[in-house]
Amino acid sequence: MQHSELLSNISEDYYLNKLSFGEISKKYKLSRYLINKYLNDAIKQGIVKIQIEAIAKRNSQLELLLSEKFKKIHFYVISDGKNDITTSNELSKSAALIVEKMFKKNCKVVGTSWGEAIYSLVDNFQNFPLEDVKFTQFMGENMKYNSTAGSMRMVEKIATKFSSEFLTLPAPLYIIDNQVREGLYFEPSIKNTLNIAKEMDVLLTGIGTIRSLKSIPIWKENIHRIFPNISLDKIAGVMYGRAFDIDGNILNADNDKVMGITINQILKTPRRVCLVRSKSKTQSLIGALRGQLVTDIILSETIAYRILAEIND
């Protein structure tokens, strides 16, 4: 096989057939180093041509207005499209490009949650190797097994995009029994994942509501055990498995049932990126912003206007 043909075949397997570095290495009996070199050679020789899409137009005025209201938070306000579907697609594409830049800046550990917004984000990532980056869960499985947007599948999906190592957390999101939960923290597989998660440089999250949590039968049946002594009416949103009010206060801080790293450890993550696509989550978003639960937020003009209108009332 000629060298140019080899470069073409490897490129086709990686970019089109979505094979991982490990699969390509086994198929061609080549080291991962050589695969990476050959993929770069294929680009230099014009065998592979990569077209990079520009981030959709941003509304800098809205970004400034939001930044004045919510200090220390980076806003990316993506211009609305012709309709909701176009807007949603542009949000996900632009978010992918924004986040990819973060991955390339001395990033070693990325944590990911779940949900339709995160699924759409991951789906829009380009395929390129990030061999030095690990992707991990930082809290347990949301138990939404009939969904492709579940937590374990999400971390594997994103790691495959970048031919990277990934770590899962083989436990449910909530464990009611305190002794059982504390005991699990000493299990080697769980302890290893959580130790890595504590070193996250970037985490990816959507934003939830009490309604979205109740859509999962096991949590709906035990909602008052998950959030004991809390009036559900006070819950503005749910993020990182924790309920918070409209001012961003974590409501179950003293009785946390989440299996994962603590909320304080999460909030030490330098970049906490949230993609919001739903216009119905304005109240949840305001609470998350007031509590500085995120550092970076990507949203549409429509959602930005709604936030400003509600906080100015």
Arithmetic mean of pLDDT, 217-238: 94
50 C-beta neighbours (distance < 10 Å), count: 9
CB 51 within 8 A of CB 71: no
Q: What is the mean pLDDT of the chain?
A: 89
CA distance 108 to 200: 7
Domain definitions of the chain by residue range:
3-44, 60-311
Arithmetic mean of pLDDT, 201-214: 93
CA distance 102 to 111: 13
Q: At 296, is the pLDDT very low, low, confident or very high (cuts 50, 70, 90)?
A: very high
Token reading at 27? 């198929």
Q: Which residue did the predictor score with more confidence, 125 or 54?
A: 125
* pLDDT for res 152: 59
Secondary structure of the chain in HEC code, one letter for each residue: CCHHHHHHHHHHHHHHCCCCHHHHHHHHCCCHHHHHHHHHHHHHCCCCCCCCCCCCCECHHHHHHHHHHCCCCEEEEECCCCCHHHHHHHHHHHHHHHHHHHHCCCCCEEEECCCHHHHHHHHCCCCCCCCCCEEECCECECCCCCCCCCHHHHHHHHHHHCCCEEECCCCECECCCHHHHHHHCCCHHHHHHHHHHCCCCEEEECCECHHHHHCCHHHHHCHHHHCCCCCHHHCCEEECCEEECCCCCECCCCCCCECECCHHHHCCCCEEEEECCCHHHHHHHHHHHHCCCCCEEEEEHHHHHHHHHHHCC
Arithmetic mean of pLDDT, 94-112: 92
Res 148 pLDDT > 60 = no
* pLDDT for res 264: 96
* pLDDT for res 299: 95
Q: At 171, is the pLDDT very low, low, confident or very high (cuts 50, 70, 90)?
A: very high
* pLDDT for res 202: 97
Share of the chain above pLDDT 90, in %: 60
pLDDT per residue over 14-65, tens digit each?
Answer: 877 778 888 888 888 888 878 888 888 888 888 887 655 556 688 999 999 9
Res 140 pLDDT > 80 = yes
Domain 60-311 - what CATH class? alpha beta
Highest mean pLDDT: which of 155-159, 251-255, 284-288, 307-311?
284-288
Res 174 pLDDT > 70 = yes
Range name among 19-33, 93-107, 177-191, 231-245 with the lowest pLDDT average: 19-33
Res 145 pLDDT > 90 = no
CA distance 150 to 128: 23
Q: At 93, is the pLDDT very low, low, confident or very high (cuts 50, 70, 90)?
A: very high
pTM of the model: 0.81
Residue 202: exposure state from Cβ atoms within 10 A (0-12, 13-18, ≥19)? buried
The C-alpha angle 224, 136, 258, rounded to 5 degrees, equals 15
Arithmetic mean of pLDDT, 142-171: 78
Arithmetic mean of pLDDT, 78-105: 91
Report the b/e string of 276-310 with b at 16+ CB within 10 A: bbbeebbbbbbbbbbbebbbbbbbbbebbbbbeee
Q: At 195, is the pLDDT very low, low, confident or very high (cuts 50, 70, 90)?
A: very high
CA distance 88 to 93: 9
